[in-house]
Amino acid sequence: MIGNIFEKEPHVFWQETAPAGTYDTAPPEGHRIFFPALLPDGGQLALPIRELADGQSALASLIVNQASFEVVDRLATALADLARPFSPEVVVGLPTLGLPTLGLTLAAPAARNLGHSRFVPLSTSRKFWYREDLSVPLRSITSPDQTKRLYLDPRMLPLLKGKRVLLVDDVLSSGTSILAGLRLLKLCGIEPVAIGAAMLQTMRWKEALEQEASGLSERVVGVFRTPKLTRHPGGGWQPEALDKSA
């Protein structure tokens, strides 16, 4: 019944979280329409399954700016709690190519939950006073044919200099987007104390971050993790072990 609701009314995804144990985490014939992500407090969030081009693998999807305020606030609160031990003084939000507000949607309430009065948004839209030397190329796994540049408004630099920075995106998947954010901040002489996301999708991002700098992946906090999914003999999708996800 629950699966049918999501299939017939896909707009209801991300509108509410469910109590612990609402969804079967290991259905006998695999997950069909959605994958139940486990939240830190034991609650569950149903995420639509997106089949990949090979037809034999899939991923759970999260589009934060389509979520209800309640879900966004819950994710942001959980993220702030996970990031708090790093004592961040400033939150920087990373836009996503193709859907350029996703990291920003999460960063603002996360900053508020940390007791901050504002956050610093990065941008893919160049204003005339932006500087090319404070920009880097940005490409997204969900928009592979698009490449833009990621900018930091130079007027925001005084807010970041000498501060403990938390860099926030909605999802870490291949690591491409978060690396662009890290490289842009590095141009500004800033190394974040932590990296935060709502969803850690597989573990591909970890290798990418470690290639950038040893120990960088240890500064990552995510509200929940989702594995790569493969075809189940029963017709659904079964999760791969997260430490084996490619």
Domain boundaries, the chain: 2-63+227-239, 66-225
Contact criterion met (CB below 8 Å) for 245 and 204: yes
How large is the average pLDDT for residues 75-93? 98
Q: At residue 100, what is the residue type?
A: P
**Integer Cα distance of 54 and 238 in angstroms:** 15
Please list the residues that pair with 194 across neighbouring strands. Answer: 166
Task: Find the mean pLDDT for residues 136-160.
Answer: 81
Q: 67-103: b or e for each residue (b if 16 or more CB lie within 10 Å)?
A: beeebbebbbbbbbbbbeebebebbbbbbbbebbbbb
The answer, yes or no, to whether residue 155 has pLDDT greater than 80, is yes
In CATH, the architecture of 66-225 is: 3-Layer(aba) Sandwich (3.40)
Structure token pair of residue 68: 């209800």
Share of the chain above pLDDT 70, in %: 91
Q: What is the pTM of this model?
A: 0.91
- Indicate if the pLDDT at residue 6 is higher than 50: yes
Local confidence band at 245 (pLDDT 50, 70, 90 cut-offs): very low
